[in-house]
């Protein structure tokens, strides 16, 4: 299954060079570079938790939600639902249920939805799991700047031969 592999691969400790492209209270764009790949992520956060969008290949975004009150066993498979503004993400048909993997206070899942287009008009992000719900309020002006910087980060990674970070 792809989800456990994605989570497992993101948990391995490898020499990684992180470059922060943009940071503002409530958000950060970071470029991650290891020996063989570059990727970019956008993290949106508040005091309760965070949601990170990491572009891993064309058309796929790995989303990780962290809530300090959640406690999941390692590699715990569960259904989640995520709402960006008024839109519930879905990977199939009309169902808003996405298969995810939990680990500690985080839950991760992949989606084929273009996060940029859904985040731009959103006023909040909500993630529902079997252990409860977390929600982050979004500031449109900050999200627009962060998305712009995330696009520049992905374009820069593409220009050096790493097309896996694009999500156009």
77 contacts: CB under 8 Å, gap ≥ 6: 3, 4, 99, 100, 101, 102
Q: How high is the pLDDT of residue 36? A: 74
Cα 73 to Cα 77: distance, rounded to the nearest angstrom: 9
What 3-state class would DSSP assign to 116?
Answer: helix
* φ/ψ (deg, to 5) at 150: -65, -40
Average pLDDT of the segment spanning 7-17: 54
pLDDT in tens, 146-162: 999 999 998 887 776 54
Residue found by looking up tokens 């712009």 in the block: 148
| Global pTM value | 0.82
Separation CA 57–CA 150 (nearest Å): 14
pLDDT at 161: 53
Q: Return the higher-pLDDT residue of 83 and 2.
A: 83
**Using CA atoms, how far apart are residues 112 and 132, in angstroms rounded to an integer?**
24
The confidence score (pLDDT) of residue 163 equals 45
């Amino acid at each position: 299954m792809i989800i456990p592999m994605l989570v497992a691969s993101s948990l391995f400790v490898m020499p990684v060079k992180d470059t922060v492209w943009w940071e503002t209270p409530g958000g950060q764009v970071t470029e991650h570079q290891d020996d063989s790949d570059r990727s970019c992520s956008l993290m949106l956060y508040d005091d309760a938790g965070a949601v990170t969008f990491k572009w891993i290949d064309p058309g796929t975004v790995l989303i990780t939600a962290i809530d300090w009150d959640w406690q999941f066993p390692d590699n715990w498979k569960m259904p989640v639902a995520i709402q960006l503004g008024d839109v519930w993400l879905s990977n199939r048909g009309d169902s808003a249920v996405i298969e995810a993997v939990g680990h500690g206070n985080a839950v991760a899942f992949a989606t084929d939805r273009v996060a940029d287009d859904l985040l731009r008009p959103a006023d909040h992000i909500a993630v529902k799991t079997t252990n409860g719900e977390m929600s982050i309020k979004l500031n449109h002006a900050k999200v627009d700047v962060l998305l712009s910087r995330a696009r520049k980060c992905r374009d820069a990674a593409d220009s050096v031969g790493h097309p896996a970070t694009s999500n156009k």
